[in-house]
């Protein structure tokens, strides 16, 4: 719908001194009076002019300069202050600007306003004369309904959904965060890397290393130091796609205790998050956009059809209404979906049965988003889970994190140091990269969340997985660490992953050939580019 992009025009419009004083055609002077009589409560005649303007624009009609003399100016006169009133002027001018793709200072704006008012008056006059029983209330119900449907059916943007009623107290750390990432193999001197310092444009990190190379132990030690350095003010979520065994969970018990991390082994325990709490519960438009975003994520990763999407959208709206200003749970939505479907079962009911009944992956009682974000979690997604459920759950979480931090606003930068709030670690990220539907939302996450004090830490078995055709995830990560990988001969890919020149690439190739498990090369600016070093390992450092 054309009104969706109005906000781009609203703030700067007030700077224009253009006066929009218009006079309708002589023929439409009488039309104004007759149509005004049809309106309830007998309003002023400027109301019908505004309705005519909007009605004409809604048809998609566009005039050209050759049409400027189409109507005479001998009818009803409107001064700008009467036509729009001061508090409404910006919105109507924005409609014209957006409709024609023109600047707020375009000289043609008054002419377009007149043309659309005359055109709208003609259309309204014809509509009511052709339908004698048709009332203005019928008209408003019909066309306001069409406008609302157009907003709700518009393509869902991957950008964050606005939430003016998000009350969240998230801790952050504003000083330099220096992490010991390894040792010089010759001198044993410590190598330190400042995660949030002025040397780096973003805090995203890409790590590649084959199984057994030490990348997971490196990530664990990185997180341990992060907790210590920031006094626990920067929290993290570690997404594990392998799934953690009971034996491995016991082995990691020390890490969980030291970092004060809660391990959630899905689906045996629900994740303490309601993925719908990013949705505004008060502002109706924001809520509608948020519901559309939620339905779009479900549709994208579960392949439900248009009819099912509408059923889910209706069920979600109803759940918000029933919740009386609170955020409903997935279980509440699931119950409404099953009620609407009756005895019929399809892919939508099957998905929600698994999400909220069979598995109960998300908490049905958690209401406070800050409780989740101010703690550390390790989420293990068992390979026994249905892939649709796994990916749907992951992207509900990723969407939630992106929306919450975006609504919190940018974090401060003091003396070049970005204040940090959160780290999202995705282990076995190649599982996500292989899922083509996930690429778009991951790309938006990496590009747009960087200024909100959030670091995305990606771990994958190789470097080829980072490059997915039109988008290379490693290029959005300022810092890269390369441990031993299986495809070490791909010099071009290595150079791109680390951001190396051809000369630096020759050195990197030689160093890669000699890399042992527990060693790496990197592009950090605090050490020789592509120089070999021993990476920190949690099991050693603890």
Condensed to tens digits (0 to 9), the pLDDT of residues 178-218 reads 999 999 999 999 999 999 999 999 999 999 999 999 999 99
Residue 525 has pLDDT above 90, yes or no: yes
**Least confident stretch, 56-60, 249-253, 315-319, 409-413:** 56-60
pLDDT of residue 23: 93
**Higher-pLDDT residue of 152, 469:** 469
pLDDT of residue 162: 85
Residue 512 has pLDDT above 90, yes or no: no
Residue 435 has pLDDT above 60, yes or no: yes
**Higher-pLDDT residue of 219, 302:** 219
Q: Which of 157-161, 410-414, 444-448 has the highest mean pLDDT?
A: 410-414
Q: What is the mean pLDDT of residues 473-491?
A: 87
pLDDT of residue 13: 40
Phi first, then psi: give them for residue 426, nearest 5 degrees.
-120, 105
**Residue 197 buriedness (CB in 10 A; 0-12 / 13-18 / 19+):** middle
**Residue 391 buriedness (CB in 10 A; 0-12 / 13-18 / 19+):** buried
Q: What is the mean pLDDT of residues 467-490?
A: 84
pLDDT of residue 2: 39
CA torsion, ordered 527, 530, 532, 537, to nearest 10 deg = 70
pLDDT of residue 103: 83
Residue 152 has pLDDT above 60, yes or no: no
Could you tell me what percent of the chain has a pLDDT over 70? 93
Residue 4 has pLDDT above 50, yes or no: no
Band of the pLDDT at 255, cuts 50, 70, 90? very high
pLDDT of residue 264: 92
Helices (H) and strands (E) in the chain, counts: 21, 17
Could you tell me what percent of the chain has a pLDDT over 90? 41
pLDDT of residue 504: 84
For residue 337, the SS3 value is helix
For 6, residues 6+ apart whose C-beta sits below 8 A from its C-beta are 91, 94, 95, 98
How far is residue 283 from each of residues 150, 166, 279, 401, measured CA to CA in Å? 18, 11, 9, 20
Whether the model clears a pTM of 0.85, i.e. scores above it, the answer is no
Q: If you write DSSP's letter for every residue of 80-120 in order, what string do you get?
A: HHHHT-TTTHHHHHHHHHHHHT--TT-TTHHHHHHHHHHHH
Name the helix (H) or strand (E) containing 238: strand 235-240
How far is residue 320 from each of residues 125, 324, 468, measured CA to CA in Å? 40, 7, 38
pLDDT of residue 3: 40
């Amino acid at each position: 719908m054309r009104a969706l992009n109005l906000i781009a025009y609203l703030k700067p419009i007030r700077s224009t001194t253009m006066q929009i004083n218009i006079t309708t055609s002589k023929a439409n002077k009488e039309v104004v009076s007759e149509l005004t009589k049809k309106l309830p409560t007998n309003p002023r005649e400027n109301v019908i002019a505004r309705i005519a303007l909007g009605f004409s624009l809604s048809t998609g009609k566009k005039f050209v300069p050759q049409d400027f003399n189409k109507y005479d100016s001998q009818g009803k006169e409107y001064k700008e202050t009467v036509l729009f009133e001061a508090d409404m002027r910006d919105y109507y001018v924005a409609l014209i600007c957006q409709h024609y793709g023109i600047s707020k200072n375009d000289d043609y704006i008054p002419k377009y306003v007149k043309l659309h008012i005359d055109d709208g008056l003609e259309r309204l006059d014809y509509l009511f004369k052709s339908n004698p029983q048709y009332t203005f209330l019928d008209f408003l119900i019909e066309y306001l309904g069409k406008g609302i449907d157009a907003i709700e059916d518009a393509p869902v943007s991957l950008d964050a959904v606005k939430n003016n009623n998000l009350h969240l107290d998230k801790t952050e750390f504003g000083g330099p965060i220096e992490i010991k990432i390894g040792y010089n193999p010759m001198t044993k001197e410590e190598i330190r890397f400042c995660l949030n310092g002025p040397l780096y444009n973003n805090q995203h990190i890409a790590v590649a290393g084959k199984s057994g190379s030490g990348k997971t132990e490196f990530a664990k030690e990185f997180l341990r130091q992060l907790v210590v350095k920031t006094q626990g003010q920067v929290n993290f979520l570690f997404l594990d796609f392998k799934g953690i065994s009971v034996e491995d969970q016991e082995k990691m018990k020390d890490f969980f205790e030291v970092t004060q991390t809660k391990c959630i082994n899905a689906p045996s325990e629900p994740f303490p998050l309601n993925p719908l709490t990013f949705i505004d519960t008060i502002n109706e438009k924001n809520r509608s956009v948020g519901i559309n975003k939620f339905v779009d994520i479900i549709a994208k990763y579960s392949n439900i059809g248009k009819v099912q999407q509408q059923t889910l959208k209706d069920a979600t709206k109803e759940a918000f209404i029933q919740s009386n200003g609170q955020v409903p749970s997935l279980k509440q939505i699931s119950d409404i979906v099953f009620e609407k479907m009756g005895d019929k079962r399809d892919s939508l009911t099957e998905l929600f049965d698994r999400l909220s009944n069979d598995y109960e992956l998300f908490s049905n009682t958690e209401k406070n988003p800050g409780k989740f974000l101010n703690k550390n979690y390790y989420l293990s997604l068992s390979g026994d889970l249905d892939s649709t459920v796994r990916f749907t759950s992951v992207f509900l979480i990723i969407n939630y994190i992106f929306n919450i931090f975006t609504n919190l606003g940018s974090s401060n930068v003091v003396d070049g140091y970005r204040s940090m709030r959160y780290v999202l670690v995705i282990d076995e990220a190649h599982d996500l990269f292989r899922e083509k539907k996930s690429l778009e939302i991951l790309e938006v996450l990496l590009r747009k969340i960087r200024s909100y004090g959030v670091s995305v830490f990606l771990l994958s078995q190789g470097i080829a997985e980072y490059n997915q055709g039109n988008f290379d995830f490693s290029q959005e990560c300022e810092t890269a660490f390369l441990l031993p990988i299986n495809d070490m001969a791909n010099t071009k890919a290595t150079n791109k992953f680390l951001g190396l020149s051809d000369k630096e690439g020759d050195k990197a190739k030689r160093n890669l050939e000699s890399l042992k498990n527990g060693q790496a090369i990197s592009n950090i600016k605090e050490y020789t580019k592509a120089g070999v070093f021993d990476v920190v390992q949690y099991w050693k450092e603890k």
